[in-house]
Structure formats: C-alpha cells, structure tokens
A and B are shown apart, each in its own frame.
Chain A
Amino acid sequence: MKALLVCEYREGKLLDASYELIAFADQLGVTKAAVLIGSEAAAPQFDGTVYLAEAASLGEYNPSAHKTAILAAAEKEQPDYIIFSHSSYGWDTAPRVAAALKIGQVTEIVAITDSGFEVGCCNAKMRRSVKPVTAQSVLTIQAGAFTAVQPAGTPRIEKLVVSADSKGVSFSGYEPAEAKDVDLTKADIIVSAGRGVGKKENIPVIAALAKALGGELGASRPVVDAGWVEHSHQVGTTGQTVSPKLYVACGISGAIQHLAGMKKSDFVVAINKDKDAPIGEVADVLVVADVLQFVPALTAQLQK
C-alpha cells in the first residue's frame, strides 16, 4: 500500500510535523512519497520521491493551486492514502482533495486500530473508529499523536508544473503573533497556582514549571484576588474557561468555580497536600505532595 504525504511549508521552511507524517506512514506499514508546495531546499529528508511545486510561484497559501498540485502528485503516485497533518493548512486543504477525488476523509487520527482509524470525538471524551469505503482515502493526523522520526535519507525530487490560478482566494502574507495579554483559552498547556502555593513570592516556582513544559501560567481566583498573579491568568467561572491538552493544578483545592473553568482539559494533574481535595475528582493524576517541594523537583527534571 502507498501513501502520499502532504508536507507543509511556511515562511520559507519545512514544518517539523512533516516527520510525524513519515512516522505515521511507517506505523501504517506503507511505502511513502511526499508532495510539498515549497522549495527544493526544504524538501523532507527521507528515502522516497518528493513531488515539488514552487511556493514562490503558487504562494504558501493558495488552496486551489495546492489542491491541483497534490492531485497531480496523486495522479502520478496512485496512493491508497493521502495524508495531511491536522493543522490550519491540513484541514483547509484535505477536504478539497477528498472532494475532487470523491473519496472518504478521516480527520485527526490518534491511533491505528483493527477496525479502522481511531479519532477523538465529543471533546475527546469518546473515540470513534472510521474506515473509508473508497479505495483511496484522505487522512489527517493529530499533531503530536505520532512521534516524529529523525530526518534521514535523501529524497528524489520530481518537479510539478501547476497553474497558479487561485480561484478567487488571494493570500497577502502573515501577521505575527501579538505580544500578549495572556490568552489561556488557546493554550495547550497550563500550569495553575492556587492558595496552596502559600505566598506571592512562590509564584515564580509555578511559572518556572509552566515554562519548562512550554505552557502558560494560570491561577485560581483567591490567588488573583490576593494580588499574587495578574487577573488575565485567572482560570474559573469568573476568569477564563480553558481546554488545554494538559492542565497542572498546583495547590488548588478544586472549588467548583475553578473546576468549571478547567474541566474541559484533556489531561489533569493535581498537586496537593490534601488527598481528599475536590480537585482529585477531576484529576487524571493526583500527586499528594507539598507543592513547594514537588514542583521545583519536577521542573528541574524536565529541564534536563
């Protein structure tokens, strides 16, 4: 079986998620070819064919031209699977390819199972297995669900010539991210401080953990009220409602107003001296320990 991996190119560079596509294809046990609308220098490093169209002429975002390029590569490769990352590029482009070929698409795959591809649904509370009935299918895979392989090998580049016709959509460039004002609602990782942290001087301990995990600092209301953390970090019914992939609650007891703001988190770790703290009810892992002892140790370990 064959897969055509659609790699992503942004601001002149190949995105690392392309190597997750390779990992997925390997797990699927299929031969791989790739297509990239980018530049030759950015072609993914693996032993296989890379169909290349120039982003310089088509543009980094040009859905109809990208679709045409991918279809051209697919015409040549005749893959069983056309695989995208489930990214702002992937979910924008994949259905166009699926519609053109009138084939099934499976979105945001997290695992491969016997009954099909496993995807999350209902806010990741449930799982579905989906199995396309068409001979070919389009797949998008969840970011981070399949560990990226190391770049290894040299691709064979095959150039595509594609019309740049953008069919009514034109791209004028990127707008950089704003210096924030914390927007916790879009954070993937949040580490929150509660009263158990003790005093304002201890907040940096929690912030350090947030940084080590690559996440944002959150806070429960009493902490914000006491002036230890600025209001934009507040999580809860009177703060921000968040849904990160990982939520670490440090010294937070779990009053309902706080729970209501973070219960949509995918995975919750609670660190609390109190084994019976209400937050234990929603935590996937409850670490019964003194926040001020455990968190620095955890941070130190992560930084290694």
Chain B
Amino acid sequence: MKILTCIKQVADMESRFKPAGGDGLWFDENDLAWRMNEYDEYAVEQAVQLKEQLGNEPELTVLSIGPDRVVEAIKKALAMGADRAVHIQDSAAHQKDPWQIASIIATYAKSKGFDLIFTGMQSQDRGSAQVGVLVAELLGLACATTLVGFSYADGQINAKRELEGGLKGVVSLQLPALVTCQLGLNVPRYPTLPNIMKAKKKEIEAIPVDRLLAEQPLSPTTSFYSPARKGGGITLEGEVADLVPKLIAILKEKTTVVR
C-alpha cells in the first residue's frame, strides 16, 4: 500500500505578525518561529498508525511545499515514522492560492498510485480548508473531512467526522481515498531519539516547484493587514450599574458570540 501525507510548515501562532515589505501581501518572516501545522501532526500520526497496523508493509511518503526551512517539519514527520519525503522547493509558496497548491500536489501524486492520502483539515496560518478536498477532486478520490475517528480494515475506512455541538457523523470510505484530519483525532507521538537519528538518513526527494505548477491563482490576496484593534485594551472603571451595559455593548460589537 502507498500512503501520502501532505504537511505544511507554518509560523508559530504566538509570533507577532506584520505585513512584509514588497507587496505586503503576507507577513514578514523575520523573528518567526516555525512548526508543523498542528492539524497535519494528526494526519502524520494517523498515517503512521495505519502503517504500523498493517505490519509496516505500506510505504509512507510525506510531502511539503516551501523554501528550505520546511525541511525541519519534514524531518519531524520522518522521525514520527514516515519512510521517505518529497520537498517541493518553492520560495514563494505563500503567494500561491489553494487551487495552485492543490494542483501541485495532484500533479505530483497523479501517477504514483497512492491508495490513501492524509492531510490536515486546514492550515493555521491561512485557514482556507480547501487544499485537501481540492486534491481529492483533482485525483478523483473519495473524500471526507474533519475526521476525529479513524479505523481501517480491508480496503475500507470507517471514520467519524466532527460536526457542530459535539455531534459526530459516522462515514465510511472506499480506497483510494483522501481524508482531512481534525485536532484530537489521535495523540501525535513524540519522536523517540532513535527515530530522530534514523530520520536523518531517510531520503528527501527535492523537486523544484516549476516542474509541477501549471495553474494560475483563482482567488489571490489583495491586501494583508492587522485588524483594527478590537477594543484596544480598554479599561472600564466606575459603578457596576454603569459598567454592565457598557461591557455588553462592547461584546455585541466586537464578538460574534453575544447577540
């Protein structure tokens, strides 16, 4: 069996972001800490668990698009148990829209005969939640998103989708398929030191993105900015009777949860 996991390296969300110089359509990369997209950790873990369940027979490939720094994230996936990796070298990955990203992955995966593809359900930085499903459509794979439960037997996946309000949808998919993973699907393992050391020897195939990209963006970014400071750290002081309506008004204005 051949399994593919697509991961993205994102900036740590605790960082302070500011629009970059130049076209200013994405953030400045200086002083940022990087990590694997949290949703993708669950994808990698599930793929590794499936591989182990099947006696380590499946070959698990991990793929990521981006500049050289994404190799860190790739190495983590290899240390978690992926067999080999593909690094699609692209220093301008952040400028591509989901359609382009999906087409790159689909072009790569097309002739490889993957039985199952795991992705995270969305990325923490852009959060478009499109790439996984787009890849499935481009490759003609059965697809379900937002998995919080996964089991596999005899060519069939039995899964649970996380719906609103704690409700779950029970679905099954026939291979070949693509699934997108939600937080809490499993407990991503902490790589052991022997596995970290083994990972250093695993193959990382580098492919320049131009060899795989043929699409123009369909939904480009037109601007990127900080939101107007929500309530800008206001301090409310005074009589309780006055403060209560003031606060409620602010909550109604600034949040979507009070109506």
Contacts and interface: CB of A to CB of B under 8 A. Distances in A.
B241 A169 contact: no
B137 interface: yes
A125 B16 CA distance: 8
B234 A104 contact: no
A112 interface: no
B259 A267 contact: no
A87 interface: yes
A254 interface: no
B169 A126 contact: no
Best-buried of B130, B163, B227, B251 by chain A (most CB within 10 Å)? B130
A42 interface: no
A287 interface: yes
B171 A169 contact: yes
Contacts of B171: 61, 169-172
Interface in A230-284: 245-246, 263-264, 266-267, 269, 275, 280-281, 283-284
Interface residues on B, range: 35 or more
B125 interface: yes
B255 A267 contact: yes
A127 B129 CA distance: 16
A137 interface: yes
A170 B158 CA distance: 10
Contacts of B170: 171-175
A287 B247 contact: yes
Contact of B233 (A121, A171, A280, A293): A280
27 contacts: A91-B129, A91-B133, A91-B146, A92-B133, A92-B146, A95-B98, A95-B133, A96-B143, A98-B218, A99-B137, A99-B138, A105-B219, A107-B127, A108-B129, A125-B17, A144-B257, A167-B142, A169-B142, A169-B144, A176-B166, A188-B257, A285-B234, A285-B236, A289-B243, A293-B240, A294-B240, A294-B243
A207 B143 CA distance: 41
Given A95-B134, A288-B235, A266 B255 contact: yes
Contacts of A116: 222-223
A174 B240 contact: no
B133 A99 contact: yes
Interface in A118-148: 119-134, 137, 142-145, 147
A17 B234 CA distance: 32
A107 B225 CA distance: 17
Interface in B82-128: 97-99, 102, 121-122, 124-128
* 7 interchain residue pairs of minimum CB distance: A177-B166, A168-B142, A104-B219, A104-B218, A144-B256, A99-B137, A95-B133
Contacts of B169: 61, 88, 171, 173-175
A167 B177 CA distance: 10
A122 to B, nearest CB: 5
Nearest to A290: B240
B134 A213 contact: no
Given A168-B173, A275-B235, A284 B223 contact: no
A100 interface: yes
A298 B244 CA distance: 5
Contacts of B130: 94-95, 98, 105, 107
Interface string B134-167: 1001100011111000000000000011111111
B236 A298 contact: no
A132 B177 CA distance: 29
Contacts of A120: 127, 227
A177 B259 CA distance: 25
Contacts of A28: none
B142 A284 contact: no
Contact of A267 (B172, B220, B231): B231
A103 interface: yes
A161 interface: no
Contact of A175 (B97, B126, B167): B167
B224 A213 contact: no
Contacts of A188: 257
B258 A288 contact: no
A98 B102 CA distance: 12
B157 to A, nearest CB: 10
A96 B102 CA distance: 12
A169 B143 contact: yes
B53 interface: no
Interface in B211-254: 216-227, 230-237, 240-241, 243-245, 247-248, 250-251, 254
